[in-house]
Amino acid sequence: MKNQPQVVSIVVHFNSPEDCINLLTSLRSLTCTNHRVVVVDNCSEERAFKRLSDFIVSQDGGFTCEIIKNKNNVGFGGGVNFGFEYAVDKYRADYLHVINTDAEVINSGYLQDLVMLLDQDKSIGIVGPAVLKEDKKQLQNTILPFVSIKTALNFKKAYSNLSYIEEKPAIKDVECVNGVCFVVRAAVFRSAGGFDPSYFMYGEEQDLCYKIYLQGYRRVYWPGLSIVHFGAEKTSAYSIDWRYIHVRKNQVKFLRKHSSWLSAFVLASLFSVKTLLFYLKSKGHSDQKLPSIIDAYFRCLK
User: How do residues 225-278 score in pLDDT, each as one tens digit?
Assistant: 999 999 766 554 456 778 888 999 999 999 999 999 999 999 999 999 988 888
- In 238-299 the beta strands, taken as DSSP E runs, fall at none
φ, ψ for residue 108, nearest 5 deg: -65, -15
User: How do residues 20-51 score in pLDDT, each as one tens digit?
Assistant: 999 999 999 999 999 999 999 999 999 999 99
Three-state DSSP state, 103:
strand
Return d(Cα 128, Cα 271) in angstroms, integer: 29
Res 1: pLDDT: 42
Res 289: pLDDT: 83
Res 242: pLDDT: 81
**Amino acid identity, position 280:** L
Return d(Cα 206, Cα 208) in angstroms, integer: 5
Res 180: pLDDT: 97
Res 206: pLDDT: 97
Per-residue HEC secondary structure of 142-193 comes to: CEECCCCHHHHHCHHHHCCCCCCCCCCCCCEEECEECCCEEEEEHHHHHHCC
Return d(Cα 79, Cα 248) in angstroms, integer: 21
Q: Write out residues in the chain with pLDDT < 50, as ranges.
A: 1, 236-237
Res 56: pLDDT: 93
> Residue 138, Cβ neighbours under 10 Å: how many?
12
